[in-house]
Amino acid sequence: MNFLDVRNQFRDYFLIERGVTAKSYRTVTAHVQHLLNHLGTQNFRKVTEENIREFLAASKREKVWSPKTVRAYLQSFRSFYKWCQIRGYVKKNPAQNIEKPKLPRRLPRCLTKEQAQKVLSHAQNYPWNSDFAQSRNITILYVFLFTGMRLNELLHLRFDDVNLKTDEILIREGKGKKERIVPIHPTLTRVLRNYVRQRKERNKRSKWLFTGVNSDKRLYEKNVHEICKKIVISSGIKFSPHMLRHTFARLACDENINLFKLKEVLGHTEISTTQIYLSVSKKGVKESVNRLELL
């Protein structure tokens, strides 16, 4: 039995029963196909634990794979072969007993408050092609910096998800398919109101909050990265959408926000993920140390 013979069955299980995204399905199947190509076979049932170990070791050695990449491939193999076990195609999951490499603990890269202000200033003064593009692009940057929203969450925001009466945003496409409500900061409220006016003037009726200038289709990752790239060049400050999310978290910690509240705003599953921002919040640490009566 070949891999191609079961791909459609695996797709239905992965997308419908487990509710995983199409992007994740494509990643898993691409990883499995990569393994089978390396082994010179399409018979997935013949793959052994030793085959997977050799593939990962060779890839790390020859392609200089990072621990993160190795972990991603290993997780894909575990997911696929877990399904194979359920269906009775294999008796044992060949990836189950292979340990994931530990990830180096890196601090999140953030902008300072001054840098974030400079980014917004350059966005406001940048020669965008239209008033709508200017308002939309500025709003996108403000949403990142005032909510800590993930890029994918922003791209899937619907117009009706933003409630300017209650100052709340409903995030439907959160990580792990989890919904959450994010409060809207008063500064962001003003920016959003201006953007809503621009939408009305352009007679925009799309269900998506952020659309193309001449289209009602939602924006895609490359569109937002292009917007950021323009401001990176203009301001001389390197940043990405995810870096703006980190910046929100750091600035929130600087203002001594309750970590459990920040966890809910960011959509973290574990508080330990949120706690890492304490390591980059110099202001909060300095103020705490300065209040100590040591001697």
**269 located within any domain:** yes
Given a cut of 70, whether residue 284 has pLDDT beyond it is no
Taking each helix axis from N to C end, the angle separating 67-87 and 3-12, rounded to the nearest 10 degrees, works out to 90
Q: Same domain for 33 and 173? A: no
**95 located within any domain:** no
Given a cut of 80, whether residue 173 has pLDDT beyond it is no
Q: Which position has the token pair 């890196």?
A: 106
Helix ranges, the chain (H) = 3-12, 22-39, 49-62, 67-87, 113-125, 131-147, 151-155, 186-201, 221-235, 241-254, 259-266, 271-275, 282-290
Q: Same domain for 41 and 145? A: no
Total structural domains within the chain = 2
Given a cut of 90, whether residue 9 has pLDDT beyond it is yes
Q: What is the pLDDT of residues 187-216, one digit of tens each?
A: 999 999 999 999 999 999 999 999 999 999
For residue 226 the two structure tokens come to: 């292009």
Q: Same domain for 268 and 148? A: yes
Given a cut of 80, whether residue 288 has pLDDT beyond it is no
Q: Same domain for 45 and 166? A: no
Q: Same domain for 21 and 157? A: no
**71 located within any domain:** yes
Q: Same domain for 221 and 263? A: yes
Asked if residues 255 and 281 have their Cβ atoms less than 8 Å apart, the reply is no
Given a cut of 90, whether residue 175 has pLDDT beyond it is no
Given a cut of 70, whether residue 55 has pLDDT beyond it is yes
Given a cut of 80, whether residue 170 has pLDDT beyond it is yes
Q: Same domain for 117 and 82? A: no
Q: Same domain for 118 and 65? A: no
Q: What is the pLDDT of residues 26-40, one digit of tens each?
A: 999 999 999 999 999
pLDDT category at 152 given cuts 50, 70, 90 is very high
Q: Same domain for 172 and 262? A: yes
> For a pLDDT cut of 70, what percent of the chain falls above it?
99
**Model's pTM, two decimal places?**
0.77
**105 located within any domain:** no
Look up the domain containing 69 and give its range: 3-87
Given 52, 87, 122, the domain boundary residue is 87
- pLDDT higher for 278 or 159? 159
**184 located within any domain:** yes
**101 located within any domain:** no
Domain containing residue 271: CATH number:
1.10.443.10
Given a cut of 80, whether residue 59 has pLDDT beyond it is yes
- Mean pLDDT (whole number) for 156-182: 91
For residues 68 and 173, give the distance between their C-alpha atoms in angstroms, rounded to a whole number: 24
The pLDDT assigned to 201 comes to 92
**94 located within any domain:** no
The pLDDT assigned to 278 comes to 84
